[in-house]
Chain A
Amino acid sequence: MENSTQESHLRPDNSVTYESPYPLYAMAFSSTPSRILHHGQRIALGSFIEDYNNRVDIVSFDPETLLIKPHPNLSVEHPYPPTKLMFHPNRKSSTSDLLASSGDYLRLWEVRDSSIEPLSVLNNSKTSEFCAPLTSFDWNDIEPKRIGTSSIDTTCTIWDIEKGAVETQLIAHDKEVYDIAWGEARVFASVSADGSVRIFDLRDKEHSTIIYESPQPDTPLLRLAWNKQDLRYMATILMDSNKVVILDIRSPTMPVAELERHRASVNAIAWAPQSYRHICSAGDDTQALIWELPTVAGPNGIDPMSMYSAGSEINQLQWSAAQPDWIAVAFSNKMQLLKV
């Protein structure tokens, strides 16, 4: 259902669409600047097929020519849909890039210009048969050898990917952990089906701080985003809720703001990579909203700054520091890059 007024707003210079043969969920921007790659910015796309055979494709986006170019040989098979994809946060080399995917295990892939090779499979289970599937992971951008994964077995595992070994594994929550985000080199936060946001410090693994709990007990919190520009703030979304909850880690339990302008539940959130006050959210109401957090909230709540309506529910949102002018959204089979 597309609204005609929105459609007319889309012009070739402010949006680029890529249509994939299958529904997409996971998306990731490479950190390698596009100017040093001759094809453009690499974007990894993970399929969402409810079957064993899924794929991860790499496409290139050139912000000058506004073209998305698929690379047929930069495509790999992935068992079941990848729950998250992420590139190495600090890669400066133009020849090879590192991509991580989570699913049954944390897998690392080496992405080159013409090929993508599996590098390693990081598996922590003692027995060979059983693994705890991962719901999400985050790559620490200050310490890029560190990746934190969250799993349905209520634990978070911190990997040292250079050694290929587990740094530590913490039982983070009482129920499945749904998302994890790094704040500092040694501090991360996670959200879980038990409805809490907890912060962990690797220097003090015995203790964690609960900074927020969902108002209805046991309402799962599904996603978490930590503002990298201002580490005081985090955003999270609840299950079946149209609210984006903004938290200040200095004042636990009380959210700083609840952004409630979506007309259906929210699916994804992303903080602006270049501004500490802006956040984008996308939901089932097919809308992507950009919010500006004011210093003082008005009595009626906070209104978004701008919005975009897609053709169908937007499932994924990425706002990368490598391309701060573009927001990537994924809905049904399409991936769209929108100019901010």
Chain B
Amino acid sequence: MANPVQSQEVDPDTLRKHLAVAVRSIQWSYAIFWSLSKTQQGVLQWGNGYYNGDIKTRKTVQAMELKADKIGLQRSVQLRELYEFLLEGEIDQNKRPSAALSPEDLSDAEWYYLVCMSFVFNPGQGLPGRALANNETIWLCNAHYADSKVFSRSLLAKSASIQTVVCFPYLGGVIELGVTELVPEDPNLPQHIKASLLDMSKPVCSGKSSPPHNADDDIDPICVKVDQEVVETLDLENLYSHREEMKIGPEEGIEELHANIPEDFTIGSPDECSNGCEHHCHTEDSLMFEGLNGVGSQVQSWHFMDDDCSNGAHNTINSSDCISGEEKAPISSPKQGSVNHFHVELGSLDLGVDDDLHYKKTLSVILKCSNRLTEIPGLHTIGHKSGFVSWKKGGMGNGYRPRWPQSILKKILVAVPIMHGGRSLGFQKDSGKKHYLEKLENDDNIPKEHENFRENEKFLVLKAMVPSISEIDKASILNDTIKYLKELEARVEELESCMDSADFETRPRRNYLDIVEETSDNYENRKTENAKKCWINKRKASDFDENYETDTEVNRAVLRDSLISDLKVSIKEQEVLIEMKCPYREYILLDIMEAINNLHLDAHTVQSSALDGILMLTLKSKFRGTAIAPARMIKQALQKVAGKC
């Protein structure tokens, strides 16, 4: 396992046990031993590990009474087995023992642990890489918020809530410990772990008689597979650094993507390299990971070589590509130069999606189902037995087109839901008014479905606009709309009475009321109708009253406009200056003085002149006490006075 030159041989089983003891003693979530790869100088990969965190679903063969440590060991072994199984890609459930784990049995932290198995670090890269290169302990707090350059698995850690990660070199490799809590840096901890490990490892190493664990055998072929790719990884890294420069408006999520991929890529293996590998057929399955990076013309073109690919494999990869496809996009889009819009979309995805990228990669293994059939040759050539004919340009002679496109589909989507609301389509036949129709054809045979579709759509729009509507049947939508409109009008009136209500404002409202009245005709809502009519009549009456006033009505209209602009109220500390022009009437001055008085103002200087029925007034006053009326209030009061005829 470890490089014999640099360190001692340690039996993996034993090492796991030691890691177990070590991590349990400090009650952390996991311990990983990153060992140096055999073939590639200085590269760190998964060596051994012990998982001590939360477990979602326990799976044991029988109800065996196991001690806590045995359970933990068994779990770690099971996780490793699951990882290898996923890597192989065989979805042959029969070969697996019944108590084997499946992906849905894992908690988030277990997933994190499992996915860590796929990571490989170059010298000086990543937390373990740096720890080994500098031969120092690295303690990372808030690992889940760390920058990807510092800690490449930070997003993964976020999903698993791993908050603290510690790496320190040991025995030619790196031991990594992680925990789901935030633990402040404690320099004693690595010492403590080392000590406990050293203590244990001595007696075992001297007499290594136990047969190598199965895991060892399994690890080897995978190591072989993986190492060959490390060369590629280095190239990819260079490529990635270029790509990162090309990015416009970098977002952390995308940087994560780019950073993650060189490391993750090592799981896959292009078919050229792994010829000797036993898992040949499975390497094609693991080609899915290639889809991640989309790097290199060989990969790109490979995606398009559909016909040349062997049965099933291509399909499987494609289906797995789908999920990891999200990663492909940011990489291929810089190529096409259309980075911007995708970045925007990715931005809207938020980091949450990127969290799952690695997750999804692993999922993609699961999802490519090995029972995808090959392409049926019959689809390429239409046999004589087919019900279909070959397509000809120019097609069939008949340009058959129904009057109302997609009528049944539209009915299913719009009319049927309305039907459930309590009214059948027959209802529409009674309605004489066709306000909502956009086109009105001359002949009366407009199929009900088309106009109904539009009408129903409009009803739904109305429902969306009026907040109080809860039902979807038409009568109640309209009733609620009428109520809402009344409420709105009452409110408008109220607001208007605070300001000067000008004549011109009532007119548009009246028209609006007409429309409502018209539609309410259709529904037997006599009361509303009548109420409306009365209201309208009242309005008309008041208009009439005003119209019947003296011939100074025109003047008055003009004055009303000017009144609004000719009222000036300026407040300076306690002094209030009022200038106004308004139509003169008897006792108006008295009213004004009263109004001023009511506002706690003492008028001390009054200048007024009445000319042609118009009063011009300049009034200086002082606030009586501390209560100060705002200018608006004063204006309102005065306008009221002036407005009274």
- Which residues of chain A have a CB within 8 Å of any CB of chain B? 1, 3, 5-6, 9-10, 13-15, 23, 25, 48, 50-52, 79-81, 83, 103-104, 130-131, 133-135, 142, 152, 175-176, 178, 183-184, 187, 193, 201, 203-204, 206-207, 209-211, 222-223, 229-232, 239-240, 248-254, 261, 263-268, 272, 274-278, 284-290, 292, 295, 303-309, 313, 315, 324-325, 327, 338-340
Contact = CB atoms under 8 A, between A and B. Distances in A.
B278 interface: no
Nearest to A268: B409
B303 to A, nearest CB: 9
B356 A50 contact: no
B471 interface: yes
A303 B395 CA distance: 11
User: Majority SS of interface residues in chain B?
Assistant: helix
A134 B638 CA distance: 60
Contact of A204 (B356, B407, B412): B356
B325 to A, nearest CB: 4
B625 interface: no
A240 B454 CA distance: 13
A253 B349 CA distance: 14
Contacts of A10: 387
A307 to B, nearest CB: 5
Interface string B424-437: 11000000000000
Contacts of A152: 414, 417, 460, 472
Given A250-B328, A251-B332, A285-B401, 20 more contacts: A6-B389, A9-B389, A50-B419, A81-B412, A131-B420, A207-B349, A209-B348, A211-B345, A222-B409, A231-B367, A252-B341, A263-B400, A267-B406, A267-B409, A272-B379, A306-B388, A308-B387, A309-B398, A324-B373, A340-B387
A274 B393 CA distance: 27
Contacts of B352: 201, 203-204, 206-207
B416 A305 contact: no
B239 to A, nearest CB: 19
A14 B385 contact: yes
Contacts of A178: 413
Contacts of A133: 416-417, 420-421
Interface stretch (B314-322, B438-446, B544-552): B314-322
B408 A340 contact: no
Contacts of A175: 464
B359 to A, nearest CB: 8
Contacts of B420: 79-80, 103-104, 131, 133
A304 B356 CA distance: 37
A251 B322 contact: no
Given A222-B413, A229-B319, A303-B393, A340 B342 contact: no
B416 A209 contact: no
A232 B321 contact: yes
A83 B419 CA distance: 12
A51 B414 CA distance: 14
Contacts of B417: 133-135, 152, 176
6 contacts: A6-B389, A130-B470, A232-B321, A249-B326, A250-B326, A264-B405
A50 B415 contact: yes
B504 interface: no
Contact of B398 (A3, A25, A288): A3
A295 B405 contact: no
A43 to B, nearest CB: 16
Nearest to A220: B413
A249 B318 CA distance: 13
A263 B406 contact: no
B93 interface: no
A214 B301 CA distance: 31
A230 B315 contact: yes
Nearest to A203: B356
B298 interface: no
B60 interface: no
A134 B420 CA distance: 10
Contacts of A305: 379, 382, 390-391
A267 B408 contact: yes
Nearest to A267: B409
B414 to A, nearest CB: 8
B406 A240 contact: yes
B568 interface: no
B353 A207 contact: yes
Contact of A287 (B363, B378, B387, B396): B396
Contacts of B382: 305-306
Given A1-B400, A176-B460, A201-B353, A289 B318 contact: no
A278 B406 contact: no
Nearest to A204: B352
A314 B387 CA distance: 15
B412 A25 contact: yes
A329 to B, nearest CB: 10
B400 A295 contact: no
A339 B420 CA distance: 37
Contact of B408 (A263, A289, A315): A315
Which of A230, A315, A325 has the most chain B CB atoms closer than 10 A to its own CB? A230
Contacts of A187: 323
Contacts of B333: 251
B465 interface: no
Contacts of A176: 413-414, 417, 460
Nearest to B401: A264
A275 B372 CA distance: 9
Max chain A C-beta neighbours (<10 A), residue from B323, B396, B417 = B417
A308 B389 contact: yes
A187 B323 CA distance: 10
Closest 10 CB pairs of A and B: A231-B322, A338-B387, A133-B417, A204-B352, A306-B388, A265-B405, A250-B325, A14-B387, A250-B329, A133-B420
A298 to B, nearest CB: 12
Contact of B405 (A240, A287, A324, A339): A240
B402 interface: yes
A124 to B, nearest CB: 14
Contacts of A264: 400-402, 405
B196 to A, nearest CB: 38
Contact of B376 (A52, A240, A274): A274
Nearest to B355: A204
A306 B392 CA distance: 8
Nearest to B352: A204
B350 interface: yes
B389 A232 contact: no
B493 interface: no
A225 to B, nearest CB: 14
A292 B425 CA distance: 40
A229 B318 contact: yes
A252 B341 CA distance: 8
B399 interface: yes
B410 interface: yes
Interface string B513-552: 0000000000000000000000000000000000000000
Interface in B274-328: 304, 306, 315, 318-319, 321-323, 325-326, 328
A52 B425 CA distance: 10
Nearest to B382: A306
Contact of A184 (B306, B363, B373, B389): B363
B389 A25 contact: no
A325 B377 CA distance: 11
B391 A142 contact: no
B467 interface: no
Contacts of B393: 303
Contact of A284 (B405, B460, B471): B405
Contacts of B464: 175
Given A80-B416, A133-B420, A264-B400, A204 B379 contact: no
B160 to A, nearest CB: 13
B132 to A, nearest CB: 34
Nearest to B375: A275
A281 to B, nearest CB: 12
Contacts of B304: 295
